Structure 1
Amino acid sequence: MFATDQPTTHMKGEGDAPGADALHSLFYTASRHYKEFCAMNAAVRLGLFDALEEPLTLTGLCTACNLKLPATEHLVELLCELGLLCRKEGHYRNTPLSALYLVSSSPLFQGAVMRDIQNGFALWERLDRVLRKGPLDVMEEAFFENGMVDSLAAEILCGELQKTVDAVAAIPAFQQARSLLDLGGGHGLYAIALSRLNPELRATVFDFPDIARKAEEVMAAHGADRVRFVSGNLFTDDLGSDHDVIFLSYNPGGKNPALLKRIHDALKPGGLFVTKHVYYRKGEGSKDRLLDLEWSLSAFKGVGKEDNIYRFTGDLSWEAYRDLLERHFTIREILEADAFSGHPLAKFGDRLDSRMIVAVKKRQGIV
């Protein structure tokens, strides 16, 4: 057995046993990438990138962050290999990439995204339990309030927000709009950005009460005095009326015909409806098995999740949703994900093959 690199088998009928390289390659990729993430996450949590806004020696960094050798030396050299630090004449400093996204004072700081990924790992560690006993029950409000809103906000600041609002602002009718309703708007960044592109626009972010504190913090930080937060349930509470624009992005009820009727009723004739979601065609199965498995780990109380990620009880297929929409709205534009979405992160929040639809309300009613 020790004289050959080839696997040995004495099991009858198996024939030539496969080498382990293919399996070990899977182990290697998973193991290395997980450990690299842990290294980056520790560096962020311990303030290493904050300290290295200015060059520091290894000793100086250990003093500034209360770190110990030899692990710190291995960490910073690994971060150099990953392109997050550079070393020159014995001093370490952030690269432009880490300076922009991993320093806590940066407007584009991605620490919340890293925390969300880490929280996801903790959920995956309970996979055995889920496979035997079923999904873990969570409150939908708590799910989004517990760091998820921060993560989604940080993610969209890296390009999706800008691409989305630019597409909306390019519509001539948007510049005449005076009232915008951002349904399930969470962090409020879309409403804030759109209000800046139209100085006459007043916006309302409508979402769960538990998200109000975070949304109001974001509004205050951006000086958004023309944006307000209203707490409520999209399906049962008053959405107002005669809105010029309604914006709906990645909401659990986003493909439900009952919500579409409420949106239609809340818009004025000729009003804009902008909706951005992942749609499933009739008969379509999985878009991503890994994300489907993650989707199955938890269940929202009071919300019927189907088998595939972003699929909910009551959702219309892409064909049925578009047909219903075209009966009561005029579709102006449909954008594919490449035109507005960010980089996938292999977690809840990935855009997959989402579409953004820009439509105008027709004058007849909806049934």
Structure 2
Amino acid sequence: MNIGIDKIGFYTPEQYVDMEKLAEVRGVEPAKYTIGIGQERMAVASLHEDAVSMAVNAALSILDDEDRKAIDLVLFGTESGVDHSKSAAVWVHHLTGIQKNARSFELKQACYSATGGIKMALGHIALNPESKALVIGSDIAKYGLNTSGEPTQGAGAVAMVISSDPRILVLDNDSAALTKDISDFWRPLYSDYAFVDGKFSNESYLSFLEDVWENYKEKTDRDLKDFEAVCFHLPYTKMAKKAILRLTKDAKEETERLMTHYENSIVYNKQVGNIYTGSLYLSLLSLLEQSSKLTEGSRIGLFSYGSGAVGEFFSGTVQPRYEDFLNKEMHEATLENRRELPIEEYEELLQKSLPKDGSDFEAKSDQLSEGRAYLVAIKENIRKYEIK
């Protein structure tokens, strides 16, 4: 049975910061941001947007009534959860109108958990071929002003419908995974911001990649020549370039092919920034929608990494007429029609936060766009979401 991605869509906030302008204000050469880490714009979430509302918006962009009836599993990967008990998936299930006889829960393992959700969905569909699963990765990467992580912030969500006989990408049952207890990036319960050992985290990422890749080759007898492209988790887009060079060890033919697709796979991420659990799948979506060289049967490698740490390498094959089931024009318009935030406004917004003392919160209605899901209020410690 073929199982994989039948639909995929994404959402990002309607405002961004220009990275060159941020660099100038920070007294940094702009090329350090635009070339050194490979970022051009950084999505910024308002107070009325969180992991839940972004996930709902991403899901609404792809779901139809047939999906709502067939989906009986909602899996939400995030490290930006809004409640220690109630899962973000429950709100998504309700706000998207999915039929009631479904399981809905949240997954956590840094940036890896959406991949974990996909793997669980594959098993569920294998046992229940008529079912569908909704898998979401949604996060806000927030490190604070004037921090080393500031230029790698971002916000957004990717939603995927997993089903049998998928129209976009069949996912192969060929994974190689690795878990190690390390401290390269973490966020304690008491902290709004993550802690990171940047150099160690980068090297851990590459070390995990090498390990799972060698394991994958042993299990499948495949090599780089069998892959048209490889997509990576992208804390920043330059990371994928480092990863390709680590895999190819400068083998010219393989390097040139993978680098060509690398450029297509980072188009969207360059405009959004780091979205943690959704970053790998935003890169995959960018590749699918921006590459003219993918053909039916092209095998795409996927490397997922979540600090702490879990890594996994797996693959999928492109399906016939996959382009017909994407929303390229809508996604490009989403990125193009955003508002640029002046740096002063961005700095003011980044220092604001929702109440932590039980106070009520209400979003300003003039900030809400038609057809979008938002956190409209917190009343008596209960979050209220609506679709305007």
TM-score over 0.5 for the alignment?
Answer: no
Larger Rg: 1
Q: Which fold has the larger relative contact order, with Cα–Cα distance below 8 Å and residues 6 or more apart in sequence?
A: 2
